Structure 1
Amino acid sequence: MTQNISTTDKVEDNGFDSIDDNDEQNKLNQNGNNNMNKLNLKEEEEVSVERVFQHELVPSWRNQLTVRAFVVSFFLSVLFIVIVMKLNLTTGIIPSLNVSAGLLGFFFVKTWTKFLEKSNMLKLPFTRQENSVIQTCVVASSGIAFSGGFGSYLFGMSESIAQLSSDSNDFKDLKIGWIIAFLFVVSFRGLFSVVLLSKTTVIDFKLTYPTGTATAHLINSFHTPQGAKLAKKQVKVLGKFFSLSFLWGFFRWFYTATDSCGFQAFPSLGLKAYENRFYFDFSAIYIGVGMICPYIINISLLVGGILSWGLMWPLIENKEGHWYKKDLGHSNLHDIQGYRVFIAIAMILGDGLYNFCKLLTHTFFALYNQSRTKRRESVLPVADQDYTSPPPQLSYDDQRRTQLFLKDQIPKWVAIGGYVAIAAISTVTLPHIFEELKWYYILVIYLISPTLAFCNAYGCGLTDWSLASTYGKLTIFTIGAWAGASHGGVLASLAACGVMMNIVSTASDLMQDFKTGYLTLASPRAMFVSQVIGTAMGCVISPCVFWIFYKAFPDLGTTASEFPAPYAIVYRNMAILGVEGFSNLPKNCLLLCYILFCAAIAINLIKDLLGKRGRFIPLPMAMAIPFYLGPYFAIDMCVGSLILFVWEKINKAKADAFGPVVASGLICGDGIWTLPASVLALAGVKPPICMKFLSRATNVRVDAFLGN
């Protein structure tokens, strides 16, 4: 947010009728210099954010942690965890919800403080630091819904997913007690593993952390008069589309008496296309996700759906009886389902391996260049030098931010003590939760994970891309091969994946939040405590929300279900591959996997070599998702992209300001409707109407049967 300053200088009469020519020239020169100095000062002020807030007192780190902030965070956490859980169990694509968290946190607390202010009961004003605390807490708690593996490794351990795979005997009964205990044991260690590196990443290396930076700019703008006015309008728009989306979900529910009923079974592109999962789903949540995701993501999903369900699977189905046996059942991995699952895995692994090597190389080169720069700029240490004061060449904003950021650093004894304590507790506790996960597996993971956590946090600061799932997949293959099939390698590798994913994911999230705190003058201690409390909330709320889904929908995880959880079967079969090798693959499946694995690497390589022109090339990771699930949700997401594209052509400024808000409203409304729908399912209340669509020939036979 810039400060508007008039560039018109007031000229006063000096009171003399006549002056010497030299004096006049000197005065003109002096006035010109003064004007230039004023212009330079004004230019600095125009680009300065902290000058807007320079008259506001920054509260201490304890005063930034208010009771109202955590009450609001709790209710918003429930909302966002439900949304993330639904996306986990449907498509596995989860957009950034930071904008919604910051906006809703601002709205609720601002409304509350205005009410107290009118009642003369307001003690503490609502600050941007408190807003940052709320956003951090909500994002930390909803992040557990992803890293907790409810749509991937954790659900992949269940009996229902085991029955869909080739190894149906190695499973663990899901119980809410051990799930909560597991998350508490593994979710906090990532916070302590990188907390001492906050100064290195944020101040020394000046990493951008695009999401954290964008969130900080959003929060800063909210707390200016102009930003507050825009935020009010945004909240009204969000509320409108939240209500419409919620009511639309309620309306759709009435027509879904069985799985094949309702608007989601509407053959909008024809019955033959519907058989191959090409149809518009009428889902507000997918349209909203499509409006938030970049265009190339949505196009990649659609291209992947066309390539698989429009071309590859129909051709492979013609080989039935030659490549695989007939009538094995739709969930058997020795038939067409095996091709769908393992080819998708091959593309995901190829894309993940390429980006892992690319990001790791980028990280090491950047670290090397920065270390060389530091050596060139190093000077002899001075005994009385104050290392906490910012260097004089920094701008006003950087001086103020650096000073306050270094003021409240986390004590080393807290970071080291917390790290060692959690490592000791988890090494002892995890083998009791998973007998197959031996203590020496955990010890090896804990020896390696700090380096990987820093690499992930550093890479996220450069590219805004967390590779937590890639580190998890590498752990699956490593521990699976080490343990072997005879020692419960499938469960051991999935549990080890959870340990690694939680460590590296929370580490990058924490650094994002530190960047947000740095730019909003929120104390690192306040951000760390908020992250810890949010993580604790997520460790309890996420399993409870998952348990509602798990009990309300008995067919959870199957392809015919409303919640197919595609990544659960993918992660489980990765574990089976790591343990047993390729012996269970159907005929020619391995050859196709090799081809698609290499194709994923080649596509990424070409995309990078083409530079800016490569932005039009689809992403293999996104293309792989419809290979198993089908392209129906990709069509909805492309509709969302089309809406945003047309809106930007009509009024780009309005689309930029309200596009993410409309998308958030659609996502939140449809997502929160899932909660009452689950409660109704648990209570045995079923929708009263089944809306089906039949071909003309089928309809004639049905009429004839009913007539008889």
Structure 2
Amino acid sequence: MTPPLPQGRSFTVRGVAAGLAVGTVICAANMYFGLQTGWVSIMSMPSSLMGFAVFKLLKPYLRFPFSPVENVLVQSVAGGMAIMPLGCGFVGVIPAMNYLLGADEQGPLSLSTWQLIIWSLGLCYFGVVFAVPLRHQVIIRERLRFPSGFSTAVLIRVLHSQGQSSSPKELDAAAKGGFASLVPKDDGPMLVDESDPVVEEEEPPAPKDLDWAYNMRLLLLSFLISGIFTISNYFLPILRDLPVFGTVAASTWLWTLNPSLAYVGQGIIMGTETTLHMTLGAVVGWGILSPLAKMKGWAPGPVDDWESGSKGWIVWVSLAIMLVDAIVSLAYIAFRPIFESHVVRFASALKRRFRHRRLAALFGSSHRYSPIPAQEERDEEEEENQSSTLRDDQSSAIEEESDGWDDAPVEQQVSSRIVSWGLLASVLVCVLATRVVFGDLVPLYAIVIAVLMALVLSIMGVRALGETDLNPVSGISKLAQLFFALIIPQSHKSSVLINLVAGAISEAGALQAGDLMQDLKTGHLLGAAPKAQFWGQIIGATFGAVFSAFAYHIYTAVYEIPGKLFQVPTAYVWIFTARLVTGQGLPYMAKEWAMGAGALFAVTTLARTLSVGRPWRSLIPGGIAVAVGMYNVPSFTLARAIGGIISWYWLSIRKQSTTPLIIVASGFILGEGFLSIVNLWLQAAKVPHY
């Protein structure tokens, strides 16, 4: 059976150009914030809105209208660019190699711009190619929801269906449905005869929160406000560190507030639960552990010193929390099917045993025969057998659907030949690029193992993202570092460098395969050709890799890194992890506190994992969020907490729509990230501060 194909062209040159333009803005913002705090965002929803706005303004000049599937292409290209600062290691691994690697660790390494480009091109492909075979399993067969990808599909559907909306039940059914399940049913022909003039159709009024013009005005207004505030920060640096808790707390213990609208926007997107858990981490780390380490003499240096101060001491505690969270979470994802099947069987056996005992007590325990099962038990066994048969029938039906109309037409899919040769070529490119950049410092066998491990860990990342909307790339990279510490001798002269490279490769694969799977989910629901999305992501990744290399080189040439503005905290996390797992010593008493924190968060992470869907789950601290609150200074965390509180007020108290809030938050982030380029020029020109 052939699916009802949506109208429009899935791949166009103009769509690629628009995606690259939007992706450049997001990529620049991600480089800026990544160097500051390690946080990046793919921003699929703003990409779709900006792409729609551009083509809406150009509508009188278009030969054929801008369709939903073309909008999917725009956000796929933009997403491929957006994640490259993190995917290529420019916000963590590369600064660690450039500035933090010691002389006895084959560092610090000075990589030229061309070396950075070769390295980033080596890392930007194999995760994209590997996402294609994973797509059939997690989207077509298992029909994982991928919340962000589903939300983006709903937004695109609303934009292109003139504000029409569906009930929550209809949307939920569509999220688990087949190919093009979110295509508007009244979608008319999209292509226009070139000989006919474009006819302007009068559109019915849409609800305010679904009106593209209203949302675009919100985006532009928040963009400008944040951009103006960013430029003001250059001339008034005091605005970055307000001593809201007094001068002593600010100067001695680093308790300040950076009222960055972009950080507030990040907090809005992260949500109330995550930001409050980050605040808990800041309170424990900077309000309790930091003063304790300083006063006890465990970290006698200045608080903001990474080597001898409590800033570097508490990062070991946060690192232990991140490692434990990663191991517990990924172990659950890997072994959950086995675990759940055994639990179900055990519960069923226990239930039957209890009933047998109850019957034995009823008839007397001295009998040496087994009592005849009660009618209730026989009925239940029959129901279980019927339901098992029904599940098998449903599974077979789903498999039949997956081979037929549930997926895109064969001619729109990426062929198995392209996947096979593309995966082989991308792996070879990664190995060759790493070899060219690092030479004999990183053995060939280590590079090959790192790529193969990245492919395995990508499966865990994709599944976690599809179910929880969280891609645990930081935990995946730490797990890879831990694994390589076991296979690379500690006596090896480049053991720390090898550890960094292996973790970077694993992170790149998991990040690309996971986050780009969100785009594939969006395209699946809207009926976009997977082949068009694949090539769009390849193009976006290529441009993003090159752009990120140049952007990193410019930032490092103009600013002091690590410095007060760009502290690159994730670079310290990377280097400290490498030193920890390769057997180097920890600061005094850091080992004991790290082990205690690890044991505590092993319990909390397991509790959070097993309590998905429970109302009290948000009260259990999340390990990654608490750890991020520890290794980032409080000024960043407090601003994000403000955003989380705003999100709670808007959604829980005011009961308003999520869409305008996300749009405003995205404008705040893009405004500071993009107009920080102006600050870059001012810094390069040595314009004085006030």
TM-score by length of 2: 0.80
Instruction: Quote the residue 1:278 is aligned against.
Output: 255
Where 1:404 maps in the other structure, the secondary structure is coil
Instruction: Quote the residue 2:73 is aligned against.
Output: 133
Whether the 8 Å CA contact 1:481–1:489 is kept in 2: the answer is no
Whether the 8 Å CA contact 1:69–1:109 is kept in 2: the answer is no
* Distance 1:363-1:409 versus aligned 2 partners, 3 A rule: farther
Instruction: Quote the residue 1:232 is aligned against.
Output: 213
Corresponding position: 1:305 with 2:320: no
Letter in 2 for 1:358: Y
Whether the 8 Å CA contact 1:95–1:292 is kept in 2: the answer is no
Whether the 8 Å CA contact 1:344–1:625 is kept in 2: the answer is yes
Letter in 2 for 1:661: I
Task: Give the Cα separation in 2 of the matches to 1:523 and 1:312.
Answer: 53
Corresponding position: 1:574 with 2:577: yes
Whether the 8 Å CA contact 2:11–2:73 is kept in 1: the answer is yes
Task: Give the Cα separation in 1 of the matches to 2:30 and 2:389.
Answer: 42
Task: Give the Cα separation in 2 of the matches to 1:345 and 1:582.
Answer: 15
Letter in 1 for 2:321: M
Instruction: Quote the residue 2:435 is aligned against.
Output: 431
Whether the 8 Å CA contact 2:267–2:644 is kept in 1: the answer is yes
Task: Give the Cα separation in 2 of the matches to 1:622 and 1:587.
Answer: 25
TM-score by length of 1: 0.78
* Distance 1:487-1:644 versus aligned 2 partners, 3 A rule: same
Instruction: Quote the residue 1:94 is aligned against.
Output: 40
**One of 505, 513, 517 as aligned partner of 1:511:** 517
Whether the 8 Å CA contact 2:276–2:644 is kept in 1: the answer is no
Instruction: Quote the residue 2:481 is aligned against.
Output: 476
Residue 628 (structure 1) shift: 2.8
Letter in 2 for 1:263: L
Instruction: Quote the residue 2:329 is aligned against.
Output: 355
Corresponding position: 1:597 with 2:598: yes
Letter in 1 for 2:160: H
- Name the larger-Rg structure: 1
* Distance 1:388-1:138 versus aligned 2 partners, 3 A rule: same
Task: Give the Cα separation in 2 of the matches to 1:642 and 1:379.
Answer: 47
Letter in 1 for 2:142: F
Instruction: Quote the residue 1:625 is aligned against.
Output: 628
Deviations 1:263-282 (A, max 9, x none): 12321221122132223212
Residue 252 (structure 1) shift: 2.2
Whether the 8 Å CA contact 2:231–2:678 is kept in 1: the answer is no
Instruction: Quote the residue 2:173 is aligned against.
Output: none
- Structure 2 stretches lacking a partner, 5+ long: 165-202, 345-386
Letter in 1 for 2:434: L
Task: Give the Cα separation in 2 of the matches to 1:156 and 1:93.
Answer: 16
Instruction: Quote the residue 1:696 is aligned against.
Output: none
Letter in 1 for 2:244: S
Instruction: Quote the residue 1:340 is aligned against.
Output: 314
Letter in 1 for 2:575: R
Deviations 1:52-111 (A, max 9, x none): xx7x9623xxx4222221222122112101211122112223355221111111111221
- Aligned pairs (5 A) from 1:339-488: 339-362=313-336, 388-390=403-405, 402=406, 404-434=408-438, 435-483=440-488, 484-488=490-494
Which deviates further from its counterpart, 143-152 or 527-536?
Answer: 143-152
* Distance 1:376-1:668 versus aligned 2 partners, 3 A rule: same
Whether the 8 Å CA contact 1:557–1:568 is kept in 2: the answer is no
Which deviates further from its counterpart, 265-274 or 493-502?
Answer: 265-274
- Aligned pairs (5 A) from 1:28-107: 58-59=7-8, 63-95=9-41, 97-107=43-53
* Distance 1:152-1:372 versus aligned 2 partners, 3 A rule: farther
Task: Give the Cα separation in 1 of the matches to 2:284 and 2:89.
Answer: 28
- Aligned pairs (5 A) from 1:84-233: 84-95=30-41, 97-112=43-58, 114-116=59-61, 122-158=62-98, 160-162=99-101, 170-226=107-163, 229=206, 230-233=211-214
Residue 137 (structure 1) shift: 0.8
Residue 135 (structure 1) shift: 0.5
* Distance 1:206-1:379 versus aligned 2 partners, 3 A rule: closer
* Distance 1:309-1:198 versus aligned 2 partners, 3 A rule: closer
Instruction: Quote the residue 1:21 is aligned against.
Output: none
Instruction: Quote the residue 2:224 is aligned against.
Output: 243
Task: Give the Cα separation in 2 of the matches to 1:387 and 1:243.
Answer: 47
Where 1:225 maps in the other structure, the secondary structure is coil
Instruction: Quote the residue 1:698 is aligned against.
Output: none
Letter in 1 for 2:655: K
Task: Give the Cα separation in 1 of the matches to 2:294 and 2:322.
Answer: 23
Residue 641 (structure 1) shift: 2.4
Residue 379 (structure 1) shift: 6.9
Task: Give the Cα separation in 2 of the matches to 1:445 and 1:134.
Answer: 32
Task: Give the Cα separation in 2 of the matches to 1:356 and 1:339.
Answer: 27
Deviations 1:623-663 (A, max 9, x none): 1123233222221112222333333466423x523111111
Deviations 1:1-36 (A, max 9, x none): xxxxxxxxxxxxxxxxxxxxxxxxxxxxxxxxxxxx
Instruction: Quote the residue 2:565 is aligned against.
Output: 562
Task: Give the Cα separation in 2 of the matches to 1:443 and 1:372.
Answer: 44
**One of 653, 675, 679 as aligned partner of 2:677:** 675
Whether the 8 Å CA contact 2:76–2:533 is kept in 1: the answer is yes
Task: Give the Cα separation in 1 of the matches to 2:123 and 2:229.
Answer: 39
Whether the 8 Å CA contact 1:436–1:489 is kept in 2: the answer is no
Cα RMSD for the two superposed structures: 3.0
Letter in 2 for 1:264: R
* Distance 1:288-1:526 versus aligned 2 partners, 3 A rule: same
Task: Give the Cα separation in 1 of the matches to 2:29 and 2:74.
Answer: 18
Corresponding position: 1:264 with 2:240: yes
Corresponding position: 1:526 with 2:532: yes
Residue 332 (structure 1) shift: 5.2
Letter in 2 for 1:359: I
Deviations 1:484-523 (A, max 9, x none): 3433111111111122211222112332222111111100
- Aligned pairs (5 A) from 1:656-667: 656-667=658-669
Whether the 8 Å CA contact 2:272–2:647 is kept in 1: the answer is no
Letter in 1 for 2:247: L
Task: Give the Cα separation in 2 of the matches to 1:197 and 1:656.
Answer: 30
Where 2:552 maps in the other structure, the secondary structure is helix
Whether the 8 Å CA contact 1:89–1:564 is kept in 2: the answer is yes
Whether the 8 Å CA contact 2:30–2:39 is kept in 1: the answer is no
Task: Give the Cα separation in 1 of the matches to 2:6 and 2:625.
Answer: 46
Instruction: Quote the residue 2:371 is aligned against.
Output: none
Identity, in percent, stands at 23
* Distance 1:233-1:623 versus aligned 2 partners, 3 A rule: same
Whether the 8 Å CA contact 1:81–1:545 is kept in 2: the answer is no
Residue 183 (structure 1) shift: 1.6
Task: Give the Cα separation in 2 of the matches to 1:378 and 1:600.
Answer: 37
Task: Give the Cα separation in 2 of the matches to 1:371 and 1:187.
Answer: 44
Instruction: Quote the residue 2:291 is aligned against.
Output: 314
Corresponding position: 1:615 with 2:621: no
Where 1:93 maps in the other structure, the secondary structure is coil
Letter in 2 for 1:457: V
Task: Give the Cα separation in 1 of the matches to 2:402 and 2:49.
Answer: 37
Task: Give the Cα separation in 1 of the matches to 2:391 and 2:413.
Answer: 22
Where 2:510 maps in the other structure, the secondary structure is helix
* Distance 1:226-1:308 versus aligned 2 partners, 3 A rule: same
Residue 373 (structure 1) shift: 8.3
Deviations 1:277-332 (A, max 9, x none): 22321211111111111111111111111112111111221122xx45x5589535
Letter in 2 for 1:460: L
**One of 619, 642, 647 as aligned partner of 2:645:** 642
